[in-house]
Each structure stands twice: as C-alpha cells, then as structure tokens.
Structure 1
C-alpha cells in the first residue's frame, strides 16, 4: 500500500519541471553521463590549442593524435548531447521551443563546424563542445538534486503507511499485508503503531499524533465511535478499529492526490513566466542570427563568429525563467499540506494575498455545528456541577441532540451520574424520571407556562437575556418546583476568536453570512468581534451578496462547509472549504482546511504573500540575468578584451538556474505560525 501511494505521489513529478518534462531521465543518468563526459573531456582539453598556448605544453604525439579530439568529442556529442537533441525535438514537436532547443542548436553548430574545420585546417571548437556538455550535465545534476528535495515531503507522506496490519478474525489476531485489508475488517493498533487504514474506533481510546497528515502539532484524543486516519500514529492506548477506507479512498491518498493536482495546475504568474520563456527563446534565436551576421560583416573569422553564436545560445537558455514559478509553487503547495490546508488550485493560493474581506458561514465554520452547554442558572443552594450531574443522569437514555450536549459536558467535567428509575420520554415535551424518591422533570419553556410553574424574577431576567441570544433553554424541576435552567447553543469554536483577531490585525474585514436567525447571528458576531453580518440569507442570495461586495472593488474570500455554500464558494475570489464539510463544498473551493481550524486562514494569506514574493524574486533574477548576459555573450565588449567563452556561458547559465532553485528552497524554512 505504501508503494502504491508513493506511485501516486510521483505521478506528477515528471510534469513539474523543465528537465524531467523534456527529457524524461532521472538524476542518476545525469550523474553518470557527467562523469563519463568529464573523463572523455580531459584529453580533449589537453590537446586543445588554447590549453597548449596558455600552459606552453605540448601533449604526446602519436599516429592519428590530431584526430583524437574529434573522436572523443564525437562520443561526448552523441552519448551526452543526444539527450538535449531528443529534448529539443520534443519541444519543437509541441510548438514550445526552449532550453533544449537552444542547447541543441549550440552544440550541433559547434560540432559540425568543428568537423569542417578539421579538414579545412581551421580552428576547432571541440574543447568548447566537451566542456559545454559536461558543465550542462553537472548543472542539471545539481539542479535536479535541489528540485528533488521539494518532492520529499510527498514521498514522506506516502511512506507513512506500515507494510503490515494486525487483523482480528474469530477472536484471533493475524498479521497480514496492508494491501490485503478490506473495508469492514477489524484491526488492532497497538500503542505507538501507525494506523494502516482509515477507520472508526469500536473499542479503546488514545491520543493520536496527526502531525504528518493534518499538520496538527498536538496529539488529538480519540475514543469509541471517532474516526481515525491512515498514516497517523497511535499514542498510549490500544485501539480496535473497523476499516472504512483503503487504497485510493483513504484520506492520505486524497491529500497526496490534491497536492499533485495543485502542482500540475498553473497560476497567473506561471502562465506569464511560460510566455516570457518562449519569448526569450525567440529573442535568443534572433540574437544568434544578428550576432553571426554582424561579426561576419565586420570581418571576424568564422571560428570566432561561431563561438559567439554558441555562447549566445547557451547563456540565453530560458531554463531559470521556466523554473522560477513552478518550483516555488510546488514547494508552497507541499508546505500548505504540512500546515493543515490543501491547495486545490494554484491560482487560489496566488489570490489569497489580495483578499480584502473574508465571509464566514456561521454554523459549522465559526461554530461547531452542534449543541453545547453555555451556562446553568440555579435558584436553590446547589452548585452548577450538581445541577449538571442530575440533568445528565436523566438525559443518559435520551437520543435528542440536547441530551447528547448535556452528557458531553458532564463527561468533559468527569462527573459521576446518579442512578435513575421510571424513566419516561415525553414526546415533544421533555423527559421524566425518579432519582430516589424525588420526581425530576426536564422541560422546555412552553411546558413551564402551561403547568403554571413559577419563575423567580432573577431567573426570568437570566432567561430573557439568553433568549436574546437565541439560546435554547431547558428547565430542571424537582417535585414540581423549578430549581435550575440550563442554556444551550451552537458552540463557538475557541479557535474562531483567535482567527478573527488575526484577520483584523492584517487589516482584513470579517463578515458572517448565514441562513440563521438575526438574534443568533448578531450574538455570535458581537461575541467574536465580527465587523458585519448578514442573517437569514438563502443559498443563492449568498452569491449575490458576494457580487455586491466585489462591485465595491473588494477581493472576497468565502469560508463554508455545506451544500448551501457551494454557489458562494464558486462566486468568491477565493473559496475556502472546511475539510469536515460536504463534498459539494470541497469541490467548489480552491483551498480546503484539513483541520477545520479557521486560524489556518491567516496561514493561507501568509503563505500566499511569501510564495508571490519568491516568484517575483526569481522572475526578476532570471530576466535581469538574461538582459545583462546576452550582450556579453555576443561579444559587445570584445574590443576591451571581455569575452565569454561557450563553456563560461554554460557555467553562468547553470549558476543562474541553481540560484533560482536555491532561492525557492528558502521558502521551505519559512514559519507560518
């Protein structure tokens, strides 16, 4: 299974960068060709005229020694240079001439001119050919090593799954390969072991380390009926898990798939850099023709003119420009996954830095989308814990969402429940039971009025305040005497407070847009310090509200989790879906929050700004380099003795590409917290 996921993680590797796309070879091939070319280049250099003149040294003379540079250079050209020629053919066939085309023209021109020069007794360019190809291999090897690091994070994700799993069959534990697991199998995961498949806990509880999958740094407590994710690490408790997803259906495979898709998509800047790279290729070819023509017209010998031609073609290779954006984008999408959010479309991440306003759906986004106990109002001499203990005891046998909320709060406070008898669910009214000899009722407000239960002035005031916030209120009655009131509401995520504060500090407007009632929305808005809210908004009206904001020249992000948010997520400049939301919402969004943590929105904006900055730096460097380098390679300062030999041009071109790659890699060390 791990190998299968590694295959998924590498599906896009050969589509992201120029070298792999055009050539299709791996790093080991470049390394081997570099060493063979280097060894063959040494005799070629030793027998070159420039080496002999500079060091005043004559190499050994033997039969056919004058043809040795031709022989060795031919081997280097066809063994090493053939890779570039194949790459050029692929570029031309796809109507996208680029780096390979320029290098191929350069080495082919130099090679065939040198063959002619041997028999015409002219000066050859064999040592330039040999060193040029060798340096190109070295530069590409270093570059590919650098680029390879950007894929390590995905490969590490793919390796998270263990090779084996312990399956429970007929009360016996058997070890099998993970690839043999099926849905609904029961597996045992021991403390400290990796979870081999997505599943639901049917027995046990533990703290789960989800950091590698969701980016959550703290262990997450999981108990019976909670779902766990393949690739996460079990903590201190043994778990029995029913398998729900295997293979490509696992959450981990989905993460890898989305990151790959994002890395293969293109942002506006990448489209721009691709066009610039194509434009630069055309300029280089025109510059080559101008250079050759001018030098021949001013009376330079053909050997000098060809050398200038080769230098121009090599130094003008647009590889650094072509790599400037996609490498940064690849690193940023992988970094996003490591920090708890998935970039589905690169253009979405690029847009995030420009956002002026963030609209939040309320339920399930800023709130948990489930009832929680807000407060307990008591009229007698009892503590809140005693009230909650009694209420939870009665609610133990009820399936109502309110009952579950009361029980959850009691469990959170580790309260022990009382023994009850004669339990009765009063359909649509409440519940009744006896605790010892006392009759306990839990009712809603309507039953209070119809049964003439007196409410104290103090409690009445507290109930009115809770009602203004549209909180749900249940009443605990003992022997027909009202003792306590418990208020419940959709619980605001504690992370929401910090998320709103972060956005405000960034100067971004925050807005709630929801179909919920005015009072509830107003209370949540005031509680969180939201700038504005729209309540009782229907799904199609949400997208209309976004259009209104966009008409005010605001760049709008929408954060939601439900089907009713799909239109709004699509209409917004940036759609952000909560990972626990519906598939429709996730499909409509450009970015998905894996951890359902609204604080990650700040990280999205930070990463967007960092990514854009790195892209601009790389484009500026790659473009500026060519503006300066092309005239030098053409020999514009030759009258001052400043000339760039083809081999030196190759070094500069390789260094330019490596600088772009290293600058992109600096993004990996940036902290988003």
Structure 2
C-alpha cells in the first residue's frame, strides 16, 4: 500500500468532502480515503497495482472537483533568479526547450519558477541548470514538493480571499439598498411616488430587480457550483443556497411579469421576494468570507515554521564567500552562519563557538552553546558568534522540513470523533431539500398560501449548514497540532490526539525519561586479586560496542582516567541484560547479576552485597566477568530530572495513574521512584517485558500512554495506545511514537496531554453547536413555532444564522492558538 496526501480544489461544504470520501473510498484498490475540508486535502492509502492517483483524479473530476496530483517523476520545478522581463523568460524557454531530450519547459516570470519535463535518458537536471546559468541567470531545483504544493495552496487561498473581499462591498451595498426599497414601506419609511408599490408597482418591481441582478452575478458561484452538483446527484450547501434563493427569484420574476403585463397585477407588488434572495446572498457571502479568513489562520503554525528556513545561505568556496539560494546547498558544502542569521540546513559545527536559539523548534527558551562537533538544525537562530558549518541534510531531509511535513500530515488527518459528522454530512443536504419541500407542501395544504409556503421553503433551505459539521473537527485538529508544534510537541495524527485526551495511565521509562539519561560511573569495586584499572578496562572494552547510556558512562570514565582499552571483538548488546564481547581473545560479560548467573558465572557473596548497597543508594550495579570468573562490580548513577517530581504531581492531579518501568534492579528502581513521587514500579523488565506490562494495563481497561526515548522502548511505545517519544529536538527520531516531545523535558508530557484534552474538548464543543444549530434551527425555519401560534423565521435571518454558524465553529477552534504549555 502507498499513502499520499494531495490538495483538493472546489470543496465548499461538508457534503462535498463526504461525497468525495464515499466515492473514492469505494474505488477498487483504495484502502482509505480521508478528506479534510478545512485543510482541503485528500489523504489516500491505495494499492498502486490496482488503482493510480491519476485514476482517482479522474473520478474526483467527475464529481466536480479537482485533485492536484504530485509532479511526475520525470519533471522538475526550478527556482530561477535574475529575470527582469518577458524577454528573459522567453529566452530561457527557447534555449532550454531546444535542448535534446527536453520534452517541455514553462517559465513563470511572476513567480520566478520554471517547470521542466525531461525525456528518460535525456540530459540531466544539472546540465539544464548549467545551461540556464550560462545565459546569465541562476537556477536551483525545488527539492520539497510538499512544501511547494503547500505554498501554492496558500497563494490560491489568498487570491480567493482577496476576490471575496473585493466582491463583498458591492454585495453588502446592493443588499442594503434592496432591503430599504422592499421593506421601507413596511416600517414607515416613505418612498418617492415613482417608487411606491401602490402608485408605481412596475417601477417598484424593476428597481428591486435592477439592484438584485448584479448581486446575483457577484454571487454566481453558488449557482455555477450548486446546480451542477445537484444534477450530478451530489447536492451541496451551494445547492441549498441556489435552490432557496432561486425559488425566491423565480417567484419574484413571475410576479414582476404579472405586474408589467397582466391587467390588475398591481397587488403582486407586495408579493416580491427580491430582498430575501439579495440579502441571503450578501449575508452568506459575508459569512463565507469570514470563514475563509478564519480558516487561513489555522495554518499559521505551518507558515511560521516554514518562515524559519532562510532563503539564502553563505557558502564558502575557493577561499571566498558567495550568497546562494538555500535550495542550491548540497551535503558537504561549507557554510558560514553569522550572528543574527538563521541556520540554513542541518549540519555540524566545524569552527567557531556561539549560542543558538532553538526555541522555535523545541520550545526551549534558553540558547544552546555550540562548539566544534555540535549539531545544528535548519531554522534555528545563531544568537552569538560566527559559526562555520558543514551541510549534512538539506531540502526535505532537514529536521525542520520533517517537522513541517509531520504537522501538515497531522493537520490533514481525522479523529474518530469526526465519523458521526461525516456520516450525517453525506445525507444531510438531500434530507434538508426533502424537508424543505415537505414543509412548504404541508403549509400549502394547511391553507397558508403560496407566499407563506415559499418563505418556509427558502428559510429551511438556507438555514441548514453542513459546513459547521464538516469544519468542527478538522479546524480544531489543525489549530491544536499547529500550536503543539510551536510548543515542541509534535502530534502525528487526529487519532493520536483523541487517544491522548483519554489517557488515564502514563507509563514512564526510567533511564533517559525520569532521569537525565547521562549516567556517570560512581564506584569501581574489583573482586579479590583483580586490579581496579583492569576491571574498568575490561568493562569499558565490552561496553565500547554498546550504545546504552550505562555502558557509555563506563567507557567515558575509563577514557577520562587515561586507561588504554584492550581490543574487543564480536561485541553484542543483550537488551535489558547487558553486553558481551571477546576481549583479548577471552569471553567477557558486563551486566545484571541475574544475566551473568544465566551465563554460568558465579558471583561471590561479597560482590552481591555490594551491589545491593549500591541499589539501595539509587545506583545501578554492573557486574563484570571474564572467562566465567567474576572480575568485580561497578556502580553507575543517573540523576533524576529536576522537573520529574513536579510532572508526576501534575499528572496525578489530572487523574492519571503513573507507572514506572525499568530494567534496573528493584532497589535502584524504588529509590528513583521514591525521589520522583511514583508509587507504582515494575523493575527488572526488558524491552519485551515493558510491552507486556503495557498490554496488561490496557487489559484492565485503561488508555495507556508510554513515555520513552524511542530506542529500546520501541516495543512498549508501539504497544501503548499513545507512544510519547522524548528527544533532544535535533537528534530525535521524529518518526518514533505517536507524539514526539522535541525537548528533553518531562513537562512536555503534561503539555501534550493537556493540549490533547483541550483540543478534544474544543472538537466536542464544535460538534455540539453544529448539531444543535441544525437540530433547533431547521424546525423553527420549517414553521414549528408558527404551528403553535409563534412567529416564523425570516429567510434573511435564516441566511444570517447559517453564515454565523460556520464562522463561530472556526472562531472557537482558533481559541486553541492561545493554549499555554
């Protein structure tokens, strides 16, 4: 199965997205189709042997929408610099287009980009770039197509928003004028005789028609999108507006003709509904504008992250400096980062010393000292000191690009909470159309007259709002996950977000999670007849092949004492137990007492007693043996994170059960747990055992979150309902876990759970109001209150209420931007 996320154009309401989901999801070879209305994307999981993205795009096109496909493998997008006029772009097109093997080239002067299609086996992209540079321009490949598509989406959204804004002024002005002309006489506003409905009914009707016609033209999108959707059998919100206002316009036009051409038709001047159609179109357009403007703000987090990457870099070459487009930087290039500049790509410091602000990636406010050998991440700010760096990861491979990609994927995902709204949205519009028709027919049969029935029909059609239901979940997820990224918490999907909100048990690994993960050697106690340095040398040689923090502490201690390590071969790590190697040709072991016993090593009682003393002090004992004979015991201590007690206290205050799992001995585990305030401890548990413990907790009906470093905790992270992987923000494996904490700080756990709860609470609020609005509003529009002697609902008020409903949902979701970590 392949998985892709692609933009979809032309959606206007939840009925649109639900229809695409149903039709595409039913195609052979498609395992999952999830449409995000707020993000305007389709997340597709499919079997490429059965169906292609092109086939899906054709099916989506048949529904009246457009699926934006990824660029073909043989095509490339270039950023071209130095163009000043149309002759520049034309020259590039002519010269490059004449190259053998170039299928097509299109240069856009306004955006400074070029689209290039090459024949298989034709000239390489580098050859084309050299040819463009030979013409006096600069050229570099756009390496991240996802980022390019996102930027294109943002430009298109900005253009649509500007078009809506420009049309809004005339729409509101025309709507107000029609309202004054139509309703003025009813509220005591005297009209001139030539406009009076009684004295000049023809002029009265034609004036309203003349004011309404341009407004209908400005709002023609409702008709050009809604009517075709209805004819295709997939009506949308636009269909409701088109039919509702169309019915009012048709009746008004008929009555206008009666006034003008039928004898005695003057009484029809009081049966015109131009103002209803005009005001509804104006108010709905106003609501759609506010909705679009609010939706644009849901992607602010991604735009803020993208803005961190500088557009240019200073490359060092041939003893000089040159400013180049950051997309032209390649791994291995030497770059200069001056104070006040952002790091252009991922790499490592070669020369210089300084301090780098990594807050926008990790949420850590304090600058981090950087010296030769230290890593640098794209987008971080060099606050102090000039740094010379070597580029290692560029384009879509940088940490920043991967974070942006994860955030966008999360924003395009759905939470299980959305399933009910999706099912309702699919059938909502046809049901509303049927209800509007039945309501109008019922009032006709009740003898209320055609004018009253028409008003009921229009009110029901325009008050119904599938948009609010469709936007309720995705807008909250988009804002919530975006806010999390700004706080150093990457939530990978809506499913993970919803699961994290329901967590009632948190399992904490000890080493590197509750503790700093940088243990230090504190004691070296050799067995009788063994020199202290020999014990440390053998133990360090064995651990030199291990990446475990405890083993690294032993190696660092030996190196710090200047001990020359003997040659070790065939090294292997046994997760949760220890390490083994051939040292100077002899089999050696370093690890837990129980494991050495399993391997046939008999430990003297004195060493075991020493180990117990170390454990009671919160230290981890490591026993060493050579050729089956005990060499001694070493003690390693890992300091507790200073924030750990506070985090445990806060988790308990949130009603969360806190459990610690560790491979250490019970004494060590309980000593650390007591210091942290953890009451429930499972010690001596290996990686597989941790996963089994997580499953035991889940079997008790608990929703379990596992917090670990993403390395030897991988089985437990995968077994948990939610896996939270802690990292350093730069070296973190951000593909591990459902939630990634970019800062090596336990407070991120509290932030992640609190953010998830706030987001899911926000989703539930949105869904409640979306459903409540429709459940209460539609019956009122249908005349239920009037049946019991109450008032009816004006179509204009119905239109305003519909516009306000979706705006209120998006506005409520935007409150998550102010969530505090």
User: Does 1:163 find its partner at 2:290?
Assistant: no
* TM superposition shift of 1:337: 0.6
Give the alignment's TM-score, normalised by structure 2: 0.65
Change (3 A) 1:91 1:330: farther
Which residue number in structure 2 is paired with residue 152 of structure 1? 300
Aligned partners of 1:235, 1:173: CA distance in 2, in Å? 21
What is residue 223 of structure 1 aligned with on the other side?
371
* Equivalent residue, structure 1, for 2:706: 558
Out of 160, 175, 189, the position equivalent to 1:26 is 160
Shift of 1:138: 1.0
Aligned pair 1:193/2:327, yes or no? Answer: no
> For the residues of structure 2 that align with 1:72 and 1:135, how far apart are their CA atoms?
16
Which SS does the other structure have where 2:793 is aligned?
Answer: coil
Partner residue, 2:192: 58
Q: Give the match's secondary structure for 2:372.
A: coil
Aligned to 1:440: none
1 CA distance for matches of 2:748 and 2:522?
26
Which residue number corresponds to residue 489 of structure 1? 637
The answer on whether the counterparts of 1:6 and 1:155 sit within 8 Å (CA) in structure 2 is no
Equivalent residue, structure 2, for 1:233: 381
Displacement of 1:266 after TM fit?
A: 0.8
Say if 2:619 and 2:635, in contact at 8 Å, map to a contact too. no
2:495 to 312, 324, 347: 347
Preserved contact between residue 374 and residue 487 of structure 1 (Cα < 8 Å): yes
Q: 1:111 aligns with which of 249, 256, 265?
A: 249
2:817 is aligned with 1:668: yes
Match of 2:794 in 1: 645
Task: Please identify, of 558-567 and 84-93, the stretch whose mean Cα deviation from structure 2 is larger.
Answer: 84-93
Q: Quick one: which of 202, 211, 221 aligns to 1:82?
A: 221
Cα distance between partner residues in 2 of 1:249 and 1:116: 64
Q: Structure 1 residues 209 and 556, CA, compared in 2 at 3 Å: closer, same or farther? A: same
How high is the TM-score relative to the length of structure 1?
A: 0.78
Q: 1:249-328 residue pairs with structure 2 within 5 A? A: 249-278=397-426, 280-328=428-476
Q: Is the 8 A contact 2:337 2:388 kept in 1?
A: yes
Q: Is the 8 A contact 1:368 1:493 kept in 2?
A: yes
Partner of 2:579: none
Deviation at 1:198, TM superposition (A): 1.1
Deviations 1:464-494 (A, max 9, x none): 63265554689xxxxxxxxxx9953345444
Say whether the 8 Å CA contact 1:80–1:133 is kept in structure 2: yes
Q: CA deviation at 1:42?
A: 4.9
Structure 1 94/504 Cα, relative in aligned 2: closer, same or farther at 3 Å? Answer: farther
CA distance in 1, matches of 2:410, 2:244: 35
Query: Which one of 751, 762, 781 corresponds to residue 603 of structure 1?
Result: 751
**Which of 388, 391, 395 is the aligned partner of 1:247?**
395
- After superposition, the Cα gap between the structure-2 partners of 1:100 and 1:317, relative to the gap in structure 1 and judged at 3 Å, is same
Instruction: Give the Cα–Cα distance (whole angstroms) in 1 for the partners of residues 355 and 230 of structure 2.
Output: 53
1:266-665 mapped onto 2 (5 Å cutoff)? 266-278=414-426, 280-373=428-521, 401-402=552-553, 405-406=556-557, 425=565, 465-466=613-614, 469=618, 471=620, 488-516=636-664, 518=666, 520-562=668-710, 564-579=712-727, 586-587=734-735, 589-638=737-786, 642-665=791-814
**By how many angstroms is 1:9 displaced?**
6.0
1:138 corresponds to 2:286: yes
Q: Tell me what 1:100 maps to.
A: 238
**Which ranges in structure 1 are unaligned for 5 or more consecutive residues?**
378-390, 411-416, 429-443, 447-458, 475-484
Residue-by-residue CA offset, 1:347-372 (whole Å, 9 max, x unaligned)? 21112232121123333333444442
Question: Quick one: structure 1 residues 49 and 275, their matched pair in 2 at CA, closer, same or farther if it must change by over 3 Å?
Answer: same
Correspondences of 1:2-21 after superposition (within 5 Å) = 8=146
Match of 1:69 among 208, 212, 215: 208
Structure 1 residues 538 and 424, CA, compared in 2 at 3 Å: closer, same or farther? closer
Change (3 A) 1:470 1:152: closer
Give the C-alpha shift of residue 237 in structure 1.
1.7
Q: Distance in 1 between matches of 2:608 and 2:691?
A: 41
Residue 480 of structure 1 corresponds to: none
Counterpart secondary structure, 2:339:
coil
For the 8 Å contact 1:325–1:618, the answer to whether it is kept is yes
Report the alpha carbon displacement of residue 239 of structure 1 after superposing the two structures with TM.
1.2
Specify the SS of the correspondent of 2:299.
helix
User: For 2:434 and 2:353, how far apart are their aligned partners in 1?
Assistant: 70
SS at structure 2 position matched to 1:648: helix
CA contact (8 A) 2:225 2:239 kept: no
d(CA) in 2 for partners of 1:35, 1:653: 20
SS of 2:390's equivalent in the other structure is strand
Q: Does the CA-based 8 Å contact 2:334-2:389 persist in structure 1?
A: yes
2:343 is paired with a residue whose SS is coil
The alpha carbon displacement at 1:588 in A equals: 5.5
Q: Any idea what the Cα deviations from partners look like across 1:317-376, whole Å, max 9, x if unmatched?
A: 232232222222211111111111111011211122321211233333334444425589
SS in 1 for 2:713: helix
Instruction: Tell me the secondary structure at the aligned position of residue 235 of structure 1.
Output: strand
* 2:352–2:372 contact (8 Å) kept in structure 1: yes
SS of alignment partner, residue 230 of structure 1? coil
Cα distance, 1:113 vs. partner? 2.8
* Cα distance, 1:508 vs structure 2: 2.0
2:182 paired residue among 48, 60, 68: 48
How far apart, in 2, do the equivalents of 1:87 and 1:27 lie? 20
How far did residue 618 of structure 1 move?
2.2
- Which piece of structure 1 moves more, 130-139 or 612-621? 612-621
Q: Measured at CA, do residues 563 and 584 of structure 1 come closer, stay the same or move farther in structure 2, by a change above 3 Å?
A: farther
Structure with bigger RCO (C-alpha 8 Å, 6+ apart): 1
For residues 663 and 232 of structure 2, the distance between their equivalents in structure 1, rounded to whole angstroms, comes to 54
- Per-residue CA deviation, residues 627-666 of structure 1 (Å, 9 max, x unaligned), is 3322332233447572322112111222233332322222
- How far, CA to CA, are the matches of 1:99 and 1:40 in structure 2? 23
Greater mean alpha carbon deviation, residues 343-352 or residues 144-153 = 144-153
Counterpart secondary structure, 1:221: strand
Q: Deviations over 1:179-209 (max 9, x none)?
A: 2211111111112221111111122222221
Alignment of 1:115-130 (within 5 A): 115-121=253-259, 122=268, 123-130=271-278
Give yes or no for contact 1:183–1:243 (8 Å, CA) kept in 2. yes
Contact 2:229 2:236 in 1 (8 A): no
- State which drifts further: 143-152 or 235-244: 143-152
Secondary structure of the structure 2 residue equivalent to 1:162: coil
Specify the SS of the correspondent of 1:530. coil
Aligned equivalents of 1:91 and 1:545: distance in 2? 55
- CA shift at 1:309, angstroms? 0.9
Whole-angstrom distance in 2 between the partners of 1:258 and 1:90? 34
Q: 1:445 to 1:343 in 2, by over 3 A?
A: closer
